[in-house]
Amino acid sequence: MSASVPAGGCHGQILETFEALAPRAGFDLVNDHDPRALYYQSAAERARTFTWDYLEKGRELWRIRIGRSETSAAKGGASS
Distance CA 73, CA 58 (A): 34
pLDDT beyond 60 at 74: no
Closest CA relative to residue 31, chosen from 51, 69, 57: 57
Return the percentage of the chain with pLDDT > 90, whole number: 60
Q: What confidence score (pLDDT) does residue 11 get?
A: 84
Q: Domain extents for the chain?
A: 24-72
Q: pLDDT category, 78, cuts 50, 70, 90?
A: very low
Q: What confidence score (pLDDT) does residue 68 get?
A: 94
Q: What does the pLDDT look like over 18-51, one tens digit per residue?
A: 999 999 999 999 999 999 999 999 999 888 899 9
Instruction: Say which DSSP state 16 is in.
Output: H
